Amino acid sequence: MTAESAILRMPAGFLWGVATAAHQNEGRNRNNQWAAWEQQPGRIHAGQQSGRATDWWSPGTIAEDFDRAAALGLNSLRLSVEWSRIEPEAGVFDQSALRKYAEIIRLLRDRGLEPMVTLHHFTDPLWLTEMGGWENPRVEELFNRFVGRVVDALGDQVSLWCTINEPIVYAVSGYLDGDFPPGARSLPRAVAVLRRMLLAHGRAYRTIHRLQRGARVGLAHHMRLHRPANPSRPADRWAAATMNQIANTSTLAAITEGRLTPLVGLGQRVTHLIDTSDFIGLNYYTTILTAFAPHRPTSFLAHTFFDPHAEFSDFNPNGEPYGIIDPAGLYLALKTVARYGKPIYITENGVPDAEDRLRGRFIATHLAETWRAIQEGADVRGYYHWTLVDNFEWAAAWALKFGLYALDLETGSRTARPSATVYAQIARTNGVPLALLETVAPGYVVPSA
Residues that bind ligand FCB (CB under 6 A): 21, 24, 165-166, 169, 222, 283, 348, 386, 393-394, 402
Compute the least distance from the CB of residue 50 to ligand FCB, in Å.
12
Instruction: Tell me how far apart the alpha carbons of residues 225 and 294 are, in angstroms, rounded to a whole number.
Output: 21
Compute the least distance from the CB of residue 297 to ligand FCB, in Å.
28
Toward ligand FCB, which CB reaches closer, 205 or 386?
A: 386
DSSP state of 115: E
Toward ligand FCB, which CB reaches closer, 153 or 219?
A: 219
Write out the DSSP string of 143-202: HHHHHHHHHHHHTTT--EEEEEE-HHHHHHHHHTS-SSTT----HHHHHHHHHHHHHHHH
Residue 183 CA to its chain's centroid (Å): 21
Toward ligand FCB, which CB reaches closer, 3 or 46?
A: 46
Toward ligand FCB, which CB reaches closer, 250 or 425?
A: 250
Toward ligand FCB, which CB reaches closer, 398 or 402?
A: 402
Compute the least distance from the CB of residue 23 to ligand FCB, in Å.
9
Toward ligand FCB, which CB reaches closer, 336 or 425?
A: 336
Compute the least distance from the CB of residue 43 to ligand FCB, in Å.
16
Compute the least distance from the CB of residue 258 to ligand FCB, in Å.
24
Smallest Cα–Cα separation from 44: which of 35, 52, 56? 35
Interacting residues of 38 by C-beta distance below 8 A, sequence separation 6+: 44, 48, 49, 50
Toward ligand FCB, which CB reaches closer, 281 or 327?
A: 281
Q: Which residue is nearest to ligand FCB (CB)?
A: 21
Toward ligand FCB, which CB reaches closer, 345 or 371?
A: 345
Instruction: Tell me how far apart the alpha carbons of residues 303 and 293 are, in angstroms, rounded to a whole number.
Output: 6
- Return the axis-axis angle of helices 187-211 and 167-175, rounded to nearest 10°: 150
Compute the least distance from the CB of residue 24 to ligand FCB, in Å.
6
φ, ψ at 412 (rounded to 5°): 80, 5
Compute the least distance from the CB of residue 48 to ligand FCB, in Å.
15
In angstroms, the Cα distances linking 146 to 90, 109, 338, 431 are 10, 23, 31, 38
Compute the least distance from the CB of residue 80 to ligand FCB, in Å.
9
Instruction: Tell me how far apart the alpha carbons of residues 24 and 172 are, in angstroms, rounded to a whole number.
Output: 19
Smallest Cα–Cα separation from 337: which of 244, 439, 252? 252
Compute the least distance from the CB of residue 134 to ligand FCB, in Å.
16
CB-count burial class (<10 Å; 0-12, 13-18, 19+) for 2: exposed
Toward ligand FCB, which CB reaches closer, 197 or 229?
A: 197
Toward ligand FCB, which CB reaches closer, 78 or 227?
A: 78
Compute the least distance from the CB of residue 393 to ligand FCB, in Å.
5
Toward ligand FCB, which CB reaches closer, 326 or 393?
A: 393
Interacting residues of 224 by C-beta distance below 8 A, sequence separation 6+: 247, 248, 285, 286, 287, 288, 323
Instruction: Tell me how far apart the alpha carbons of residues 168 and 164 are, in angstroms, rounded to a whole number.
Output: 10
Query: Do residues 218 and 162 make contact, with C-beta atoms less than 8 angstroms apart?
Result: yes
Compute the least distance from the CB of residue 345 to ligand FCB, in Å.
14
Write out the DSSP string of 44-112: SGGG---TTTT-TTSHHHHHHHHHHHHHTT--EEEEE--HHHH-SBTTB--HHHHHHHHHHHHHHHHTT
